[in-house]
Every structure is written in C-alpha cells, then in structure tokens.
Amino acid sequence: MSSDSSPPPNLPIPWPEGVEISTHTGGCHCKKIRFEFEYPADIYSLPVPECNCSICEDRGSMNVYTWENKFRLTSGSEGDLSIYKFHAKRVNHRSCKVCGSYIGALVPVPTPGHPGIIVVNTRTIDNIELKKFQRTPVNGRAW
C-alpha cells in the first residue's frame, strides 16, 4: 500500500458496513481456471447490476464486485486468460483461453496504492442460483 491517504473508490455495489464475509469459489467450464474471492457470506444479499451496454448484453453478464486483493486464481494462471479491451481500453475483460468462458474483468482504479476492482461473472461461481439475485438495471449504453 502506498502512503497515499485518500480513500479507495467504492465498489459499484458497496458492501454494507459490518457484513459477514466468506470465501466463494468458481471457475471456467473446462476447469482450467479456478478462483476464489471474498464477498458477503450471503451472496444474494446485494443486488447485481444488469447492464445494457453492448458487451454485457452480448455475454448476458450479471456480475458481482470485489477488490483485486480479495481475489485469487487457485488453478491456472494469468497466462491462461485471454484479455479483451475495448472503448477506453482500460478494463481487462478476462476469459479462459481453452474453453472461452468469460470469468470477469479487472478494472484498474485511478487512486494510487489502492487495489483494482474485480468483476466476477456470477455464471462462473460454484453452486450459484441465478434466480435468487435481485437485479438492478444499469444504463451502460449511456457511458
């Protein structure tokens, strides 16, 4: 961490103060990529954005967000992920090079010394029930 005392940016869907945190797991279809991440224990307790931007609509994305330092690959490596960038080319959209599953993205933050934001594709989380998520519309087309 740098000595920069500015607060980190908020996650797109902020976690409630004092919420219980658990480690959740997931991975791609072929299992080359496996990961774990920290997120509120009741994964369904926060709404998931349902974005209408071109890439989210194409992928059918429903994502949750955590910090870069709360996410790690447990199988496979960064080299096993293909990276796609578009528009401003600052977000690393990451997919398995073997099966093509969209894992999520890394969004660098402009605040020095603070971790980036990890976007986790809910469809790759183990034992997830998509119908249980409360969805929140986001007008990504307006960006």
Tens digit of each residue's pLDDT, the chain (143 residues): 333 444 456 788 889 999 999 999 999 999 999 999 999 999 999 999 888 888 889 988 899 999 999 999 999 999 999 999 988 888 999 999 999 999 999 998 888 888 999 999 999 999 999 999 999 988 878 76
Model pLDDT, residue 9: 62
Domain spans of the chain? Answer: 21-125
pTM of this structure: 0.88
Give the burial class of 121: count Cβ atoms within 10 A of its Cβ; 0-12 exposed, 13-18 middle, 19 or more buried: buried
Question: Hey, what CATH class is 21-125 in?
Answer: mainly beta
Q: Residue 134, CB half-sphere, CA atoms under 13 Å: how many?
A: 7
Model pLDDT, residue 29: 98
